[in-house]
Structure formats: structure tokens, C-alpha cells
Structure 1
């Protein structure tokens, strides 16, 4: 089974692209979705123990937690030490299940793939990208997003040009959904072509 790492800076169309792989029957594991599940489950008591008052009704309050860790490298490192191993365990279980199901290809949707060394866990990397003005419009349309927040997020991410330079595949999501779907289908055909006959 081949493992494709899907990444891209904020607002580049990663979630939409991941859904296109799923629509073609490719199993996809989203690190963001895993964090959401963990914040409502196993991670909640661990986060509350380190950051008291950030859990409400058994679920991590992301806004409250964000106010405690954003711009605080030591606090962020503590949070990552709690969450990353749990996400990695979910990722491993996902890959084991995909292999057991006979999948030829599985996708790991990892927002900070290069920033966290995630490329070492995948066979190939796909970066989704869009023009800066498209990215900016998408991100600023999100609820609660501000110019300052957007600037802070961009500063924490590897520049888009560097991601594209390190990728095996690049999809330009600013060219419309149909173009992106065709690009996804071509990648699936390319990476899944050596699937054994069953």
C-alpha cells in the first residue's frame, strides 16, 4: 500500500481535496478531525490537567485553549506532547485497517506535514496551493478569523513556495473544482496502478 501525504498552507483547499480522494474510494485520515475527536474524548482530561479551565462539559474549549498556548512556545510544546502521540496512534490504526482492507493507496491529511517531519512517514507528498489573494479571501471568510490571526498562522507555516518545491505532486485549487477533481483522479491512477489483481 502506498501512503500519500496531503498538505498545504491554511486556506489552500486541503479539506476539499481530501474529500475528492474519499469520493474515489481512497481511505483518508485527517489529523485535524482526529484532534477534534480526541478533544471530545481521550485528550480532554489530559489537556485539563495541564491547562485547568480549558475543558467544558468534557470537551476541550478550543478558544480557551488557544488563548493559553498561542504565542507561548513552552505551553504549545506541552500541548503537542499530549496530542501528537494520540494522533499518531490513530494514524497507525487507520493505516493498519486500510492495509487489512487491501487498499492500494491511503491518504494522510496532515496540515503541518513538512513542519513536523511528517514526510518521513509517507511515500509521496501532495501539496495543494492557490494564489495568495484566493487563499486570503478563503481564510478571512472563516468565522472568528482576523488579519492578525491569519498573519500569525502564516508565520508558523513553511512558505507555500518551499512546500511546492518539496512536493511530488501539486494541485492548484484556484483553478476550480473540476480541474482539482481531474488532478486527484490522475494521482489515484498513478499511485494505484500497481494494485494486485484479486
Structure 2
């Protein structure tokens, strides 16, 4: 099975592109979705122990947690040391289920793939990109976002130009959904040709 890493900076259209791979029949593991599940499950007591007062009814409250870690690099590293191994284990279990089912291609949607050293976990990488002005417009339209927050987020991410230099494929979402969907189909064909995708032989899509 080929493991394709999907990544891209904030506002580039990565989530929409991940849905296009899923719609084409490719199993996709969403790291952000995994974090949400873990925050309501096995990660919650570990995070509460490290940052007392951040859970409500056994579930991590992201606002409370943000107040503890944002702007504090040491606290953020402590949080990442708890969460990243759990997300990776979740992704590994996902891959094993589809590998056992004989599926030829699976996607790991990893927002910080290059930043967290995830390149060695995948066979190929696709970077989702967009023109800087479109990226900025998309991000600043989000509730609670500001110029300062955007600048802080981008400062933690590998620059888009560098990601594109390091990747195997680029999908430019500036050209619209139809063009992006065509790029997704082209990448799938280049990687596995006409091989059958998940279809009926895939295991349940739990992650």
C-alpha cells in the first residue's frame, strides 16, 4: 500500500482537498479529527494532569487549554509530547486496517507534516497551496482570527515555497474546486493506475 501524506499551510484548502480524495474512494486519516476524538477520550486525563483545570466533564476544553499553552513555547511542547504520539498511534492503526484489506492507497492528512518530521512516515507527499492573497483572505474570514494570530501561526509553519520544493505533488486550490478535483484524480492515477480503491473491501472507516 502506498501512503500519501497530505499537507499544506493554513488557509490553503487542505481539508477540502482531503474530502476530494475520500470522495474518490481513497481512505483518509484526518489528524485534526483524531485530536478531537482523543481530547474526548484517552488524551483528556493526561492533558488534565499536565494542565489542571482544562477539562470539562472529562473532555478537553480547547479554549481553556489555549489559555494555558498559547504564547508559552514550553507548555506547547509539553502538550505536543502528549498528543503527537497518540495521534501517530491512531494513524498507524488506521493504516494497518486498510493494508490488511489490500487497499492500494491511503492518505494521512497531517497539517504539520514537514514541521513535525512526518516525511519519513509516508511514501509520497502532496502539498495543497494557494496564492498568498487568497490564503490571507480565507484565513482572516474565520471567526476570531486576526492579523496577529495569522502571523503567529505562519511563523510556526514551514513557508509554502519551501513545502512545494520538498514535495512530490502540488495542488493549487486558487484555480477552483474543479481543477483541484482533476489534480486529485491525476495523482491517484499516477500512483496506482487503475487499481481498485477502497470500495466494498475496505474495513469500517473507524479511525
1:56 match: 56
1:93 match: 93
CA distance in 1, matches of 2:96, 2:118: 18
1:182 match: 182
1:109 match: 109
CA distance in 2, matches of 1:146, 1:49: 31
1:13 aligns with 2:25: no
CA distance in 1, matches of 2:195, 2:130: 32
CA distance in 2, matches of 1:141, 1:40: 28
TM-score (normalised: structure 2): 0.92
Which segment drifts farther, 144-153 or 180-189? 144-153
Secondary structure in 1 aligned to 2:4? strand
1:171 match: 171
Q: Deviations over 1:100-144 (max 9, x none)?
A: 121110000000000111011100000000011111111111111
TM-score (normalised: structure 1): 0.96
Which segment drifts farther, 157-166 or 144-153? 144-153
CA distance in 2, matches of 1:152, 1:125: 25
CA distance in 1, matches of 2:62, 2:145: 14
Secondary structure in 2 aligned to 1:25? coil
CA distance in 2, matches of 1:64, 1:35: 16
| TM alignment of 1:110-149, pairs within 5 A | 110-149=110-149
Deviation at 1:195, TM superposition (A): 4.0
Q: Deviations over 1:12-66 (max 9, x none)?
A: 0000000000001100001111001100111111111110111112211111111
1:150 aligns with 2:147: no
Which segment drifts farther, 182-191 or 65-74? 65-74
2:204 match: none
Deviation at 1:194, TM superposition (A): 7.4
1:70 aligns with 2:77: no
